[in-house]
Chain A
């Protein structure tokens, strides 16, 4: 056996975003790194913590300078005050003197603080727990001596789990992700599919210390660390074949989506924070069917900043170049927390205060967003979509706020448009009573709809089998929504992952959908699947 083969390590996992990636191995979180760093002398560990605290303080002060006077600045000033406070840092330094590592000591000290807030009765104090968690992790990243910039583009990143905001900070170009935990339906998995970043979750636990390079192979559901020469050569060959297949899909990419019978299907794209648009050509899609504004607005300061939002929305409309863009109002909560805004420590966050429920608790935040959207509507065809609507009253309340925002803007003499107001159909209560909603358009959010129909959390990797999008329960409900919308001439689309999954295209076209909003990386494959679809609107496969 040669030396290469002796080191090769192959770990199984569950693929959630397809592709083949090869690159330097980066072990991201401190749990993975604890052993890697080893424990230095108490003096070194204390110095390490002090340097990390300084670094984190520097980050926060730079952020404060960029934000200016606002609620966000107060939160940051609070974090800076905490970092300077001996009451917070002293227990960590004492633990280090007793022989603990800097990261373990800091985490324990912060967790003690966080518990105090987590258990508070007052919601305001409870929300501070997520600020403190943010601060804890910022210092831990400094202790680990790693920042987003330090991760080389094209790395294979290994972590226990990854937050959507962390994902967005990393340059993935050619790289991939393998998580020990994670799930197919988490938002980071959706982002990975949208960006075409290969990703595996539920990776077998094993130490990857000492391995420097890895292959991520979702065809075989494995991560191969330190591949030998033969494995590498085989992998390279498959990568080439994969490139060829991509070139085949690319033939469809630039073309209008037509079924084999010549029927037109609108194919739009889903967008997170807009940065992905730089690499895309607006001519390849029929518009943007979903902008996830909660990934664009990541902190309290941005939630309160109408100008910043107006400019960000304007940039996306400019890219779309006259094609329609649907902005979804803030869908925070669930697995997408925003420090100081979402409610921390909910027992069951996916069934908790999220989406429009949270927006209606913070009408001033929603109004700021609606004002920015109405102003941007003067720049191009813009629609507003409300997430997580369960009953007609919620949509009516948002409509009243939108009407009020437009009236106020006009009174102030500020140029604005009057955007159409539609809703996500993702709560079964809304799907089952779709005729009761006064929406200008519907967009089916299949991911949450499936999670709620099947009573299986999208975070639970082991329940993935229950979440088959092609099961009759899902297809029947989608069919009913589409049939209602078509009959009453209300535009309807589907913007969940189902639309990006080529296996689902015949079923979706079969139930009558003619507008899909997909991950940008799925544009070519989806248009290819549409081109192969032979049935017409009414003769397609009906659900059982």
Chain B
């Protein structure tokens, strides 16, 4: 199955803290596809559905965030996550 990738600029004050991490994982879990998040375009890739793993990245901002997904709704998942980050986590 095709792998879809995308990226967005993380500009959240304080970086990827509890609230943005929870929003990322809650959104990623809505998709059937496997979804990953990475600090660099070549990985390493972290499971975007695991809040413990996302928080453990301890990412500060501003910095680019990368997403990748594989599965039936991979494109929609990456698109939604990119939009979430671009909206500065305003969406649910």
Contact = CB atoms under 8 A, between A and B. Distances in A.
B50 A78 contact: no
Interface in A175-191: none
Nearest to B16: A125
Contacts of B22: 74, 77-78, 81
Interface of A: 74-75, 77-78, 81-82, 85-88, 113, 116, 120, 122, 124-125, 128
A88 B52 contact: yes
A81 B23 CA distance: 10
Interface stretch (B37-45, B54-62, B67-75, B79-87): B54-62
A78 B47 contact: no
Contact of A124 (B14, B47, B51, B52): B14
Contacts of B17: 124-125
B21 interface: yes
A134 to B, nearest CB: 13
Contact of A78 (B14, B21, B58): B21
A74 B19 contact: yes
Contacts of B21: 78, 81
B26 to A, nearest CB: 8
B33 interface: no
What class of interface size applies to chain B in its complex with A?
A: 10 to 19
Dominant SS among interface residues on chain B: helix
A74 B47 CA distance: 21
Contact of B25 (A81, A125, A128): A81
B9 interface: no
A92 B13 CA distance: 34
Interface string B1-38: 00000000000001101110110011000000000000
A27 B23 CA distance: 40
A113 B52 contact: yes
Contacts of B18: 74-75, 77-78, 128
A234 B55 CA distance: 59
A122 B59 CA distance: 10
Contacts of A86: 50
Nearest to B56: A116
Nearest to B19: A74
Given A77-B22, A81-B25, A125 B52 contact: no
